[in-house]
């Protein structure tokens, strides 16, 4: 096989890129780039500070890489259709784009071969997200503690939801929530209030959330599970997790998946105890 060549996205028919991403997705069993990247590709989201390229080999598109400027670093997505061979070329292009800024690029459905190729190209793992899931045929719903009640979100709850997200993720890679960010995500086409469960005290204080999402006609997701620090360790995480699972089962879905940082032992222990199993890992390389 000849070395793959890198072609700027502007010089490629975008239909060929969509085709590559859907073929790679079919092979691996899910979306190979995230929602924000798909939105930039389709022009639904600003392309400011964004550059993308494809790898071509013998006239076929075999890989995709994109970088986007962030405040403190350069973010990226990298996709190779057939495993490890094309990856070093795509990663080298991303590093070149980043120049002397830090590059953090996401490789989804990572395989051991790909991680070895990335390591050989001088990259290390910055973050590793486990994707875990289970079936929804039977769900044992745990009761919430104290006098907390689990229900769908209302507009009056949004400040409380934001406070939970800010406090629960304070100091982590998932921190820094803002009202704008919350509203941006509530504007996604899949968003529905009834899928965002909150646990509230009798006087309306929000103690935790389980934001669920319908991904496909059969698969749901825990988009975000977060308990306010003052309410943690009392069984609310388990109660909200299982209430959300029951909700997804009620709307006709038969499985749930979620992304969890491999360093988040607390959450991993909870998911393990509720019967979730590892499906694959998404890895951020730097």
Total H helices, total E strands in the chain:
8, 12
Looking at beta carbons only, is 88 or 235 nearer to ligand COA?
235
Segments in 84-209 forming alpha helices (H): 87-98, 112-120, 158-168, 179-186
Chain centre to alpha carbon of residue 105:
13
Segments in the chain forming alpha helices (H): 14-28, 35-41, 87-98, 112-120, 158-168, 179-186, 236-250, 265-273
Q: Which residue is nearest to ligand COA (CB)?
A: 237
Question: CA 154, 157, 162, 168 torsion: positive or negative?
Answer: negative
Whole-number Å distance between alpha carbons of 182 and 286: 27
Residue (of 283, 282, 284, 280) closest to 132 by Cα position: 280
When asked if residue 226 is in the footprint of ligand COA (CB under 6 A), the reply is: yes
Smallest distance from the beta carbon of 80 to ligand COA, in angstroms?
Answer: 27
Chain centre to alpha carbon of residue 30:
11
The span of 73-81, 153-161, 193-201, 225-233 binding ligand COA (CB under 6 A) equals 225-233
Whole-angstrom CA distances from 228 to 43, 89, 110, 144 are 36, 43, 32, 14
Smallest distance from the beta carbon of 223 to ligand COA, in angstroms?
Answer: 10
When asked if residue 40 is in the footprint of ligand COA (CB under 6 A), the reply is: no
User: DSSP letters of 171-201?
Assistant: TSTT----HHHHHHHHTSTT--GGGEEEEE-
Looking at beta carbons only, is 227 or 245 nearer to ligand COA?
227
In the list 225, 257, 284, 285, the residue contacting ligand COA (rule: CB under 6 A) is 225
In the list 232, 262, 275, 286, the residue contacting ligand COA (rule: CB under 6 A) is 232
In the list 77, 237, 244, 257, the residue contacting ligand COA (rule: CB under 6 A) is 237
When asked if residue 148 is in the footprint of ligand COA (CB under 6 A), the reply is: no
When asked if residue 264 is in the footprint of ligand COA (CB under 6 A), the reply is: yes
In the list 196, 253, 260, 284, the residue contacting ligand COA (rule: CB under 6 A) is 260
Write out the binding residues for ligand COA, residues 156-175 only, by CB under 6 A.
168-169
In the list 55, 62, 249, 267, the residue contacting ligand COA (rule: CB under 6 A) is 267
Looking at beta carbons only, is 264 or 278 nearer to ligand COA?
264
When asked if residue 197 is in the footprint of ligand COA (CB under 6 A), the reply is: no
When asked if residue 25 is in the footprint of ligand COA (CB under 6 A), the reply is: no
Q: Beta partners for 42?
A: none
Which residues contact ligand COA by CB under 6 A? 168-169, 225-227, 232-238, 260, 264, 266-267, 269-270, 273
């Amino acid at each position: 096989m000849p070395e793959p060549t890198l072609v700027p996205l502007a010089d490629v028919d975008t239909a060929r890129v969509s085709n590559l991403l859907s073929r790679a997705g079919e092979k691996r069993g899910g979306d190979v780039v995230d929602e924000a990247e798909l939105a930039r590709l389709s022009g639904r989201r600003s392309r400011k500070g964004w550059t993308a390229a494809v790898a071509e080999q013998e006239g076929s598109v075999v890989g995709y890489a994109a970088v986007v400027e962030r405040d403190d670093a350069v973010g990226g997505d990298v996709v190779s259709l057939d495993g490890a061979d094309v990856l070093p070329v795509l990663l080298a292009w991303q590093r070149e784009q980043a120049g002397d800024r830090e590059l953090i690029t996401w490789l989804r459905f990572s395989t051991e071969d790909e991680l070895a190729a990335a390591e050989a190209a001088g990259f290390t793992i910055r973050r590793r997200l486990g994707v875990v899931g289970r079936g929804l045929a039977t769900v044992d719903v745990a009761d919430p503690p104290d006098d907390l009640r689990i229900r769908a979100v209302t507009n009056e709850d949004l400040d409380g939801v934001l406070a939970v997200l800010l406090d629960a993720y304070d100091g982590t890679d998932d921190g820094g929530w803002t009202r704008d960010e919350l509203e941006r995500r509530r504007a996604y086409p899949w968003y529905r209030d009834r899928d965002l469960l909150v646990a509230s005290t009798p006087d309306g204080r929000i103690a935790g959330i389980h934001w669920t999402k319908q991904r496909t006609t059969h698969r749901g997701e825990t988009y975000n599970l977060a308990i306010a620090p003052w309410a943690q360790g009392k069984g609310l995480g388990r109660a909200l997790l299982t209430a959300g699972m029951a909700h997804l089962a009620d709307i006709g879905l038969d499985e749930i998946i979620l992304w969890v940082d491999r360093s988040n032992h607390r959450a991993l222990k909870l998911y393990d105890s509720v019967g979730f199993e590892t499906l694959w890992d998404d890895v951020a390389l730097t």
